[in-house]
Amino acid sequence: MSIYSLNPVGTTPALGRQLRLRRLLGTDGRMMSVALDQAVPRGVAPRLADIKRTFNRIIATEPDAFTVFKGIAGHLLWDNDITVPLIIKGSTFCVDFHPTYDATVASVHDAIRLGADALAIGISAGSQNQVAMLEMMSATTEEAHKWGMPVICHAYPSGELWGDRKGSTESVVYAARAAAECGTDIVKTWYTGSAAEFKQVVDAVPTPVVAAGGAPAPKPINVLEQAAAVMEAGGVGMTCGRNIWQAEDPAKMVRALKAVVHDGVAPSRAAELLD
């Protein structure tokens, strides 16, 4: 046996990337994060208008991470001593004005300067803008990895070229696999309706897969049931926006989702935390 103890990463960015991913995914490799980046893509809802109060209610329950745009991060964190990992949103679509094109709004170096643990970018697979989106995703991921910054891709098959196949398991598999093929570290994509269908996505993507929380659910229990199905399928977790910050009590919803994602609590039992 060698008497020397070798440093496997030297002084390369590999260590920084590993440490940031470890903070995001924790000791169990799972993640329940909160999306607070929806004012530009979907409009300024009342809870997002009152962003500081909404943030403070949510963050007190310590989700695994939260996502915001770069200009909001300082308003929320400058006088706040929280240690929850920060994800900076680096691109955005808008449902009203450019639904299938993610405009670049933050760089890798913005994320580094702000102390983020990851940069999130999005693609609209199956759109006329797919070529540009793939080029942006690949270039951003390459630059991020040079600096030890993980990349999360919001990989949605939202393009108009899918026709009636948009939202199918086939389309979700394609979008998620495209993100993995381009080197992103975590893929966030649409839930496909059941554990069996979502397992097809997870099985086709060799990187950790997180499900998007989606449109507001009819009942809180439906959000918990979706989270349980994602975990059953082999996903690493959920990222929820509207189903958390529009909930009657956002903090209780975070606790309930954490119980499902991290502790394997049945949705019916986790729902008791909402009372």
- 146 as an active site residue: the answer is no
By C-alpha distance, which of 95, 94, 101, 92 is closest to 72? 92
Strand partners, 67: 35, 87
Q: Which two tokens stand for residue 191?
A: 């839930």
Catalytic residue among 156, 166, 191, 258: 156
CA 189 vs. chain centroid, Å, equals 8
By C-alpha distance, which of 145, 138, 142, 193 is closest to 171? 193
Report how far residue 116's alpha carbon sits from residue 85's, in angstroms, rounded to the nearest whole number: 7
Catalytic residue among 188, 199, 252, 258: 188
- Give the Cβ contact number of residue 269 at 10 Å: 13
| CA-based end-to-end distance of the chain | 59
CB 137 within 8 A of CB 144: no
- 156 as an active site residue: the answer is yes
By C-alpha distance, which of 148, 75, 66, 153 is closest to 109? 148
By C-alpha distance, which of 151, 154, 203 is closest to 175? 154
Alpha carbon dihedral 137, 141, 142, 147, in 10-degree steps, equals 150
Instruction: Please list, in sequence order, all residues whose beta carbon lies within 8 angstroms of the beta carbon of residue 91, skipping any fewer than 6 positions away.
Output: 102, 103, 104, 105, 106, 120, 121, 122, 136
Residues annotated as part of the active site: 156, 188
